[in-house]
Amino acid sequence: MISRRKLLKRLSTLPLLGGVFGSSLLIPNMASAAAAPAKRNLIQELGLRTFINAAGNYTSMTASLMPDEVMETINESAKHYVMLDDVQDAVGKKIAALCHAEGAMVTAGCWSALVLGTAGVLTGKDTKKVAMLPFLEGSGMKSEIILQKTHANGYHHALTNTGAKLVLIETRAELEAAISEKTAMMWFLNREEPLGKIKHAEWLEVAKKHNIPTMNDIAADVPPVENLWKYNDMGYDLVAISGGKALCGPQSAGILMGKKELIEAARLSAPPRGGNIGRGNKVNKEEILGMYVALETFINRDHDKIWKSWEKQVSHIASAIEDIPGIQTETVIPEIANENPTLKVTWDKNKINLTGKLLGEKMRNGTPSIETISWESDDYIRVAVFMLQKGQDKIVAKKLREALLESIA
């Protein structure tokens, strides 16, 4: 491939070029084209640290990289005006069909899907009620959302953005007792299913018996790809997912999908409409379209092949360090969220003078910088491969080996 600089050099030696580009009268905007500076690189210009992501879809690490299909969609659509509602209508239909839902919308992340979905449940399609949120008292709207205590781990705060009150329960008896004419919704945090006493089937059974809408937060729960439709099929009225985690869509996008009536109601609290609590949950057309293409691209991947390549990368990294005295390696697959093979590296502290945090710092401060999961324990780190770019497993293996060897006691 010819580098840009070489190309410019070659072009500038062509006699004709001065004739074409030399006259600013002919093509005013092209006047400086021949002497165009090298493409701006903001990462360099601002001195930002980039790194190999051997950790995963962490919001603080900007989560995931968008594939070319998504970036092409974003760049192309940025050149055209369309009506924001028209984009949501069209994309919503496509996403709904892909995920076995009646309706769908692109939201400003999974958090925004939780807020807007809850707003839709509370207000229905009554625009007067939409304008009243978050003040539920005396509004005639239902005001309570029931969830299990073990599911209240931070993200449930999104529900309170609507003004709704949370009712935390543990057992089925407590659930039945908590249900009243005030109950607006029953909320489930998918990744905490193993911790709660009430599982999906029972949660839905009770909700249906009392005719209460349900929502499931599956933010980080693909792969497996089937999860994109599993909970719609199961009977949840609304399902919320992050767009910028493993789906590799825009980081600030997400999807709310489910019953058509509820999606239509949720959109009443969303831009372009104002005068409501959702006005800040704006998603631009580029991201709405990018989200759709990211979802489609993700679904169409060869998931088995990709899983095998992850396993291969994990075993490559393991085999690069296994001979170091005191090292133990193990493949760990998280049960629900971020379900993908990771390499857990444990060491004998008498032989290797490191804590998890220190090894994480060593990897971060190396060249190239590498982020690992180094905060879970003093005794180990985990290395995730599912966000690695091609060939980076080799670099991670080499740098990890170096870091461990340097720390032999």
Q: Which residues of the chain form contacts with ligand PLP (CB under 6 A)?
A: 59, 109-111, 155, 189, 191, 217, 219-220, 242, 254
Peptide bond into 325 cis (omega under 30): no
Q: Give me the least distance between CB of 220 and ligand PLP, in Å please.
A: 4
Q: Give me the least distance between CB of 157 and ligand PLP, in Å please.
A: 10
Q: Give me the least distance between CB of 160 and ligand PLP, in Å please.
A: 14
Peptide bond into 250 cis (omega under 30): no
CA distance 271 to 74: 19
Smaller CB distance to ligand PLP: residue 371 or 393? Answer: 371
Q: Give me the least distance between CB of 213 and ligand PLP, in Å please.
A: 18
Q: Would you say 272 and 249 are in contact if contact means Cβ atoms under 8 Å apart?
A: no
Q: Give me the least distance between CB of 287 and ligand PLP, in Å please.
A: 12
CA distance 205 to 8: 68
Q: Give me the least distance between CB of 261 and ligand PLP, in Å please.
A: 24
Residue 402, token pair as written in the block: 């170096």
CA dihedral 168, 170, 171, 176 (to 10 degrees): 0
Q: Side by side, which strands form the sheet with 144-148?
A: 103-107, 254-258, 238-242, 214-217, 183-189, 144-148, 165-169
Number of H helices, E strands in the chain: 16, 12
CA distance 135 to 143: 10
Smaller CB distance to ligand PLP: residue 111 or 298? Answer: 111
Smaller CB distance to ligand PLP: residue 317 or 384? Answer: 384
Q: Give me the least distance between CB of 155 and ligand PLP, in Å please.
A: 4
Q: Give me the least distance between CB of 219 and ligand PLP, in Å please.
A: 3
DSSP string, 104-160: EEEESSHHHHHHHHHHHHHHTT-HHHHHHTT--TTSS---EEEEEGGG-SSTTHHHH
> Which single residue brings its beta carbon nearest to ligand PLP?
109
The dihedral through the CA atoms of 174, 179, 182, 184 has a sign that is positive
Pairing of strands 342-347, 327-332: antiparallel
Q: Would you say 256 and 281 are in contact if contact means Cβ atoms under 8 Å apart?
A: no
Smaller CB distance to ligand PLP: residue 109 or 360? Answer: 109
Smaller CB distance to ligand PLP: residue 215 or 363? Answer: 215
Smaller CB distance to ligand PLP: residue 76 or 376? Answer: 376
Smaller CB distance to ligand PLP: residue 96 or 246? Answer: 246
Would you call 105 exposed, middle or buried from its count of C-beta atoms within 10 A (0-12, 13-18, 19+)? Answer: buried
Q: Would you say 311 and 336 are in contact if contact means Cβ atoms under 8 Å apart?
A: no
Smaller CB distance to ligand PLP: residue 132 or 189? Answer: 189
Q: Give me the least distance between CB of 189 and ligand PLP, in Å please.
A: 6
Q: Give me the least distance between CB of 209 and ligand PLP, in Å please.
A: 27
Q: Would you say 280 and 161 are in contact if contact means Cβ atoms under 8 Å apart?
A: no
CA dihedral 232, 115, 129, 90 (to 10 degrees): -60
